[in-house]
Amino acid sequence: MHTLKKIALAIAIIGALNWGVAGIFKFDVVAQLAGGVGEPLARLLYIVIGISGLISLSTLFTEWRNIEEMEEHKTLA
């Protein structure tokens, strides 16, 4: 599961970079590689990027909880 979270984070970062490029340069890398925004491959890639973002979001909250627990243990010790 740890490997899946790393892969999901990498895909989410790539997706974020694609949105940055799209916003700055008006060029969608995913759509260009897939042959257009409406193409099935592009839609699949967008879905995979979205799911990766959700997985990464759960990882973020888990990390926050772990940090809070570590801080709690420090104050109790």
Rounded Cα distance, 29 and 41, in Å:
13
pTM for this prediction:
0.78
User: Are the C-beta atoms of residues 44 and 30 closer than 8 Å to each other?
Assistant: no
What pLDDT is stored for residue 68 in this prediction?
87
What pLDDT is stored for residue 30 in this prediction?
94
Within the chain, which residues score under 50 in pLDDT? none
DSSP, collapsed to helix, strand or coil, labels residue 37 as coil
What pLDDT is stored for residue 77 in this prediction?
63
